[in-house]
Structure 1
């Protein structure tokens, strides 16, 4: 059952690259609208308990997710989709694994740590190699662009690890349903702040923005099952499972490389 939950998360997030289009601003705004609307509908049907501390932490996690996702969208333009996704997945994999092991005490035995870090190193090597492209139109993965992607990935690290923080230290009985709406509201507020600071208000009038709301629905559903997966599998394993979506996204980005529209994680 735990892996089935993770599988739904994988599929939902893997669909996002096949959905989004146009500029990074329309992508992030559309996702914020779609994700928050979906979370609100789920909330109205389930009516989970309101706990202020849970809402505050979840809201911050959602807002910080915006930083990571904007960094990824911008990197699609700079590096290319099939170059960005493996690098982003690698940065997230290393960061979230270290957070899970060092902060939350996952992989408790010495044997588990040795095997885990060896496996992690092999995965990272594979991700770096898969990001190489012979296509001259594939983007420019220079040091500056890679460092920009790494810096913005910090938003993803916080977003991925906060559910475990809540369930461990703040509200042990919390479920994904308790966490989903405030997190998606944080996503919406984060995207709105981005629009206001970049003077991109016109994106709300673009058809592509509302099309990208479909990706927000996929993201919200995937996030709900990621939250369930964190509870059942732990931060490290849940995140590693979730990054199987990057394999599908990479193939999707490669197969559409002749299309000028950027795609998303």
Structure 2
């Protein structure tokens, strides 16, 4: 039962992008709807759990959530350029590598030879996985331009996600106490990012549902961590990339050659192995 709880974040987070794309509406309606959904869920959880909420927790949480909105909206934009099956493994890999390096350099997380070896190995595997998943043996000039735009957009997305994770870590604002103020920051960030694009339509309303999924995944991550440990819960939560990548290919019908499928499969395996190694290094 504990492992099942730990797998739920991957299931929820891996499904979000698939739901967003199926619902449609473009990156701005998707961003606004998702953030509103996260706020609705987090508000209910707040009044049930009554976590501590100090001025510092509130301000840091809001700023952290605004960074998340930047990361998520940029991820949605990248999907328009290169599709789900390329966006998600590249995005996940960049997030994991960057957040890990921030943890090592700023918080000295690797403090033994074993963790250094495991961590460096993990980063190499994840980077190789990113390269494999973005492999395309025959591309037109337009496809190459789209790939460049997608990667640049994902670098911006990574800055947002790293800010989301790092700011809370710096001020010790994590877990249940951060959930509600972060959701407020997500909505504020979503409004700022999207207001020029008039996202207030039925698609924004429908995209509230994926936002509920995101917040549910976050909640189950907090629940599972004390039961199975941070290392296992972290590793399992990141495997949602398998769901989103394969879902992009088989559910959203993104066209791939047999060679591309082979490289994508190999890339996913390398990323997952790298994530497991990082999980072990976190112990």
Range moving further from structure 2, 86-95 or 148-157: 148-157
What SS class does the counterpart of residue 107 from structure 2 fall into? coil
What SS class does the counterpart of residue 142 from structure 1 fall into? helix
Q: Is the 8 A contact 1:163 1:227 kept in 2?
A: no
Q: Is the 8 A contact 2:17 2:244 kept in 1?
A: yes
Give me the whole-angstrom Cα distance separating, in 1, the residues matched to 2:230 and 2:166. 13
Give me the whole-angstrom Cα distance separating, in 1, the residues matched to 2:116 and 2:135. 29
Distance change >3 Å, CA 161–CA 26, structure 1 → 2: same
Shift of 1:163: 3.8
Q: Is the 8 A contact 1:65 1:156 kept in 2?
A: yes
Of residues 121, 124, 127 in structure 1, which corresponds to 2:124? 121
What SS class does the counterpart of residue 194 from structure 2 fall into? helix
Q: Is the 8 A contact 2:83 2:254 kept in 1?
A: no
With normalisation by structure 1, the TM-score equals: 0.83
Corresponding residue of 1:25: 28
Counting only pairs closer than 5 Å after superposition, residues 76-115 of structure 1 correspond to structure 2 as 76-115=79-118
Q: 1:184-211, CA deviations, whole angstroms, 9 ceiling, x for partnerless residues?
A: 0000010111122xx223x22x222111
Shift of 1:71: 1.0
Instruction: Judging by fraction of residues, say which structure has more helix.
Output: 2
Shift of 1:239: 4.9
Q: Is the 8 A contact 1:83 1:133 kept in 2?
A: no
Shift of 1:255: 1.3
Corresponding residue of 1:224: 219
Distance change >3 Å, CA 127–CA 240, structure 1 → 2: farther
Corresponding residue of 1:9: 9
Corresponding residue of 1:36: 39
Corresponding residue of 2:155: 150
What SS class does the counterpart of residue 222 from structure 1 fall into? helix
What SS class does the counterpart of residue 77 from structure 1 fall into? helix
Give me the whole-angstrom Cα distance separating, in 1, the residues matched to 2:66 and 2:208. 17
Give me the whole-angstrom Cα distance separating, in 2, the residues matched to 1:13 and 1:155. 17
Q: 1:28-63, CA deviations, whole angstroms, 9 ceiling, x for partnerless residues?
A: 011011110111111112222221111111111100
With normalisation by structure 2, the TM-score equals: 0.78
Q: Is the 8 A contact 1:229 1:238 kept in 2?
A: yes
RMSD of Structure 2 on Structure 1 (CA): 2.7
Give me the whole-angstrom Cα distance separating, in 2, the residues matched to 1:74 and 1:244. 22
> How many equivalent pairs are there?
248
Shift of 1:125: 0.6
Shift of 1:251: 0.4
Shift of 1:132: 2.5
Range moving further from structure 2, 222-231 or 83-92: 222-231
Distance change >3 Å, CA 30–CA 77, structure 1 → 2: same
Shift of 1:2: 7.7
Q: Is the 8 A contact 2:75 2:153 kept in 1?
A: no
What SS class does the counterpart of residue 42 from structure 2 fall into? helix
Corresponding residue of 1:200: 197
Range moving further from structure 2, 242-251 or 136-145: 136-145
